[in-house]
Structure 1
Amino acid sequence: MTASRFPRWVYTEGGEPDPRFTLANERTFLAWIRTALALIAGGVALEALSLPIQPGLRLVASILLLVLGLVSPLLAWFGWAASERALRCGRPLPSSRLGLLLAVGVAAVGVLVLVGVLVGPVGR
């Protein structure tokens, strides 16, 4: 029965954990997906809106948000799988690889936008 579940490399290992933990792991995964959508939307909005920000810095900040938004679901998937396998095998849960990356990335975007606003658009 578990062999038909996807991905097999997660579900064929260990035994069934308490469903509450599995569902909490899934909610965490979905929260990371929502975060990725917000990052992508922010990257698109930053470049699409006519904001008084230095264009080069705005473009770099937008690209950084888009890259973070594209990488986040992949890391969230592997984080979900690692946590699910740990739950199934009774091992300690692994640490998140995503938190630090997003914290540094979003802080970098904030600095780029702040500097871009302070410098203002070229020719102002």
Structure 2
Amino acid sequence: MTAPRTGPANGGAVDYRVTLANERTFLAWTRTALAGAAASVAVTQLVDAGDPWVRTGLAVLLGLGALAGVMWALRRWRAVEIATRTGAPITTRGPWAVTAVTVAVACGAVVLALGAR
């Protein structure tokens, strides 16, 4: 159950619970991207693949995923912040798309890692 949203465009004040939830979500996505960057570094140092190109490719893939995660988190935070302040509806398609791409990349990484054995 959620309270009706009122923003400055509707004559009300900004609901700070929504703003704080938006910031928590931004920090969670940023933390996940940082974990991806750490995994990228760990792959270069700890994975003993037969072919160095597999290890490098996996590290680059994880690094690019981390960079995309940070960029998406910032874009999503800004969009929700603007929607909150203007009273516009908040779209929910983005998180599903990011999750689907992340799962696809993770599956590809597992296939690459198992194929290198």
Q: Considering the TM-score relative to the shorter chain, is it more than 0.5?
A: yes
Equivalent of 1:103 in 79, 100, 103:
100
Aligned partner of residue 92 in structure 1, secondary structure: coil
1:1-124 alignment, distance < 5 Å: 14=9, 16-52=13-49, 54-95=51-92, 97=94, 99-120=96-117
In structure 1, C-alpha distance between the alignment counterparts of 2:114 and 2:51, rounded to whole Å: 7
Give % identity: 38
Q: Deviations over 1:19-73 (max 9, x none)?
A: 1010000000000110110110111111111434543222212111101111211
TM-score (norm 2): 0.75
Q: CA RMSD in A?
A: 2.3
- 8 Å Cα contact 1:40-1:69 kept in structure 2: yes
TM-score (norm 1): 0.72
In structure 2, C-alpha distance between the alignment counterparts of 1:71 and 1:80, rounded to whole Å: 14
Number of corresponding residues:
108
Gaps of 5+ in 1: 1-12
